[in-house]
Amino acid sequence: MKWTKFYLPDAYSPTMEQLVYFHDHTMSIITSITILICILLNSLLWNKLIDLNMNEHQMIETWWTILPTIVLFLIAIPSLKILYSMEELINPTISIKSMGHQWYWSYEYSDKFCKELESYMKYNKKNDFRLLEVDNKMKAPFLTQIRMIFSSSDVLHSWTIPCLGIKMDAVPGRINQSSLMIKKPGIFMGQCSEICGTNHSFMPIMLESIKLNKFIKWISYALSDWN
């Protein structure tokens, strides 16, 4: 994703793929309506035949009530499907808890093991991404169903990674959850999307997607170092 691009980032999760398809579907409808209105306005501007005695037209009024209703249904039904699919949890393999702090993130792997790490923003070096590098990346296996749990220890935060199509508020005193499945290996970046204080811009998110066997090895090494 570069500054000169005006379209959405590449999708690396099923949720983001559905959101991109829904965006294209909605934009096609909006573009069709805009073109139709432009054609009608153009015909009205250049049309010199005016019937001053026509005060109403029942058929036209009926159709301009029915057609917008059909268009709204065409937009609302896919939107509701995506909304409910984003909230659905399908037999998650692991659970990862993300806690928001002022101003860093902590991650806890507490399903079949207990491992917690804190993720602070790193100062920029030569080849680092500006304001996006962290000292401890969150690691997760790809092609694996993951349950993400979010909360906060102080104020309202928001855990967001755009190319994975996930954005969930971390609310103090409350636990929110969302499902996540990454389709490819790689490093995915995001930032807190809720204004949480003076250092809001300095709590980035960096997720590294790796193979499941490498993830298990990483967890076992981390537990041995912890013990």
Could you give the domains of the chain? 14-46+60-87 (no CATH), 94-225 (2.60.40.420)
CB burial class (10 A; 0-12, 13-18, 19+) of residue 188? buried
Give the residue from 149, 146, 166, 142 showing the smallest Cα distance to 94: 146
pLDDT grade for 224, boundaries at 50, 70 and 90: low
Provide the pLDDT for residue 112: 62
- Whether pLDDT at 227 is above 60: no
pLDDT of residue 226 exceeding 90, the answer is no
pLDDT for the residue 157: 93
Q: What strands lie across the sheet with 186-191, from one edge to the other?
A: 138-141, 204-210, 186-191
Contact 38, 31 (CB under 8 A): no
- Report which of residues 156 and 90 the model is more confident about: 156
Asked which of 5-9, 63-67, 211-215, 222-226 is least confident by mean pLDDT, the reply is 222-226
Q: What angle do CA 159, 189, 131 make, to 5 degrees?
A: 95
Compute the mean pLDDT over every residue in the chain, rounded to the nearest whole number. 85
Q: Output 50 or 186, whichever has higher pLDDT.
A: 186
Place of tokens 């949480």: 196
Give me the pLDDT at residue 131, please.
79
Question: How far is 197 from 199, CA to CA, in rounded Å?
Answer: 6
Q: Where does the pLDDT of residue 136 fall: very low under 50, low under 70, confident under 90, or very high at 90 and above?
A: confident
Predicted local distance difference test score (pLDDT) of residue 216: 84
Contacts of 59 (CB under 8 A, 6+ apart): none
Which has the closest alpha carbon to 154: 139, 173, 135? Answer: 173
Q: Looking at per-residue confidence, does 123 or 38 come out higher?
A: 38
**Residue 2: pLDDT over 70:** no
The whole-number pLDDT of residue 99 equals 92
- Asked whether the CA dihedral 64, 66, 67, 68 is positive or negative, the reply is positive
| Encoded tokens for 92 | 């998650």
HSE-up (13 A, CA, CB side) for residue 116: 6
pLDDT over 80 (residue 183): yes
